[in-house]
Chains A and B, each alone.
Chain A
Amino acid sequence: MGFYTEPAFFIVTAVVVCIAIVIGLLQKPLHKFGLVASIVMLGLLFSESLASLVFFLAYLVYSLALEKYVERLFRMKDSRAVAKYRVALALQIAPLAVYKVGVLFDPTFLGFIGISYITFKAVQVLIELRDGLIESMQPWRYLYFLMFFPTFTSGPILRSRAFEKDLDRTLTRTEYLEYLYRGAGWFILGALYKFVGSALTGWLMWFAPAAIGGDTPGAFACAQLAYAFMYGLNLFFDFAGYSHMAVGVGFALGIEVPRNFRAPFLSVDIKDFWNRWHITLSYWLRDFVFMRFTTAAFEHSWFKSTVTTACIAYIVNMLVMGFWHGITVDFVAYGLYHGLLLAACELIQRKWGFYKKHKKDRWFRICSWAVTMIAVFYGFALFSGQALHPIAV
C-alpha cells in the first residue's frame, strides 16, 4: 500500500483519524493508539514485500541496540565514550550507505521504503545523546518516533525532543479541537496540491513541450524550458502536497509535525530558498552537518577566514545532501551546484558593497528574486537529469 498515493491509504488513514478524534475528544493520551496505528500502517506498507519487512524489522532492532549502547556509554561515563560513539554513528549510517551503493549495481538491492528518512531520525538521536541533550529514550518512544507513520516514507523529518514533548502532553478538548482545525487545513491544502496542482503540472510537463515541438533550435530550447518549468512546479506540488497532508494527519494524532515548505517560489536569494524548500531536510543538514563542520573548522583553525569556512561548509553540506538523494551523477551534481550557489551567495552578502547598499531596495529584490528563480529551476533540471540529458520532443 503506497502512502499518499493509493486510495487504500486514504481509507485506512480516515479510519485511524476517526478513532484518534474520539480518543482526543475524550481528552485521553493519543500516543498508545498512535503507536499501534503506525505498526498497522507500516505492516500494510510492507505487506507486498516480505524481504523489505524483514529488513525493516532488523533495522529497528539494530537502531534500538545502537541507541541503547550510546546511551549507556555516556551514562556510565565510559573513558572512550566519544571514540566508541563515533563508531556507533558510522554503524548507524552504514545501512543507508550500503543500500545507496547497492542499488547502483542491483536496482532490487535489499532496502526498504523510508530508509533515507529513518536514518536522519536515528542519527539525530545519537548525536544529541553525545551532546547531552538527550539522556535516554524509552524503547517504545524511540520506536514510535522512528515508525510514526504520517512522515515515514517522505518526511517531514521529525526531531525526537520535540516529538517526546508532544508525547508528554495530554491535550484538553479545546486544544485538541484547535489541532484538528489546523490539521484539517493542512490536509486539505496538501490534497489540493497533490491531486490538482501536481496532476495538472504533471500533465503540462509532457503536453507543453510536445505542443511546442522541437523542429527548430529555438522551439527545442523553448520546449526544454517549458518542461523544466513544469517539472519544478510539479515537484513542488507533489512533495509539498504530501508533506502538508503528513502535517495534517500528525495533528490528528496529537503530534505537531514541522512544516516542510513555505512559499519557496518567493525566495529572494538561495539561502532564503533553502529556508523555504524541504525545510526539515535543510535544517537537519544545517544543525548536524554545516554547524558541526564549521564548529570543527573554527576550533582547529582549518581555514584562514570566516568566509572561506562558510563557503567550504556550504559545499560539504550540499554534497552530503546530493549523496543522500542518491549516488548518481545527477544528484551529486545537484548537491554540488547548490553548494556552489550558497557559497557564491555568502561571498556576495559579505563582500559586495553594492549588495549591502541596495539589498533592501525594491528593484534589487525583484532582480535578486528573478536570478534566484532561474538558478532554482536550473537546479531542478539537474535534479531531474534533464540538464545533462535533454528530453526528447
Chain B
Amino acid sequence: MAHENLDQEIVDMLVELTGEDELGDYRDVDLFEEEILDSLGAIEVLVTLKQRFGVSIAPTELEREEMNTVNKIVERVRERL
C-alpha cells in the first residue's frame, strides 16, 4: 500500500495515540522528555506502525533517542518502507 502523505499519516496516528492535537506543530520535540510518550506509549506506537504501515520494529531494535521525536519516527518508518 502506497503512503503518499506519510508524514501526515504518522502525525495523525501519533495524535490519535497520545491525544496531543498540536503534535504536528512540534515535530522535533522530545516526546519522552515532554511526557507525551512513555515506554508503554512507545510500544503502542510500534504495534500501530506494524498494523497500519506493515513496518516491524523490534522492541530492542532502536535506542530511545532514535525515535523520540515525530520527525525521527517518520524517518525510521521511511527507512523501512
Contacts and interface: CB of A to CB of B under 8 A. Distances in A.
A291 B61 CA distance: 12
Nearest to A310: B40
A298 B43 contact: yes
A7 interface: no
A133 B61 contact: yes
Contacts of A287: 59-60
A361 B60 CA distance: 34
Interface in B33-56: 39-40, 43-44, 46-47, 50-51
B58 interface: yes
A128 interface: yes
A291 B64 CA distance: 14
Contact of B39 (A133, A286, A292, A298): A286
B60 A306 contact: no
Contact of A133 (B44, B46, B51, B60): B60
A131 B50 CA distance: 14
Given A286-B39, A294-B40, A310-B40, A131 B60 contact: yes
A298 B50 CA distance: 11
Contacts of B39: 286, 290-291
A165 to B, nearest CB: 13
Given A131-B58, A294-B40, 15 more contacts: A128-B58, A128-B60, A131-B61, A132-B58, A133-B58, A133-B61, A286-B39, A288-B60, A290-B39, A291-B39, A295-B43, A295-B59, A298-B44, A309-B40, A310-B40
B80 to A, nearest CB: 11
Interface of A: 128, 131-133, 286-288, 290-292, 294-295, 298-299, 306, 309-310
Interface string B53-79: 000001111000000000000000000
A185 to B, nearest CB: 25
Nearest to A291: B59
A299 B60 contact: no
A393 B49 CA distance: 59
27 contacts: A128-B60, A131-B58, A131-B60, A131-B61, A133-B58, A133-B61, A286-B39, A287-B59, A287-B60, A288-B60, A291-B39, A291-B43, A292-B59, A294-B40, A295-B43, A295-B46, A295-B47, A298-B43, A298-B44, A298-B47, A299-B47, A299-B50, A299-B51, A306-B40, A306-B44, A309-B40, A310-B40
A290 B42 CA distance: 12
B60 to A, nearest CB: 5
Contacts of A288: 60
A291 B58 CA distance: 10
Report the 5 A-B pairs with minimum CB-CB distance, sorted nearest first: A131-B58, A291-B59, A298-B47, A287-B60, A294-B43
Q: Which of B47, B58, B59, B60 has the most CB of A within 10 A?
A: B60
Contacts of B61: 131, 133
Q: Which of A290, A292, A298, A309 has the most CB of B within 10 A?
A: A298
A320 to B, nearest CB: 16
Contacts of B47: 295, 298-299
Contacts of A291: 39, 43, 59-60
A299 B61 CA distance: 18
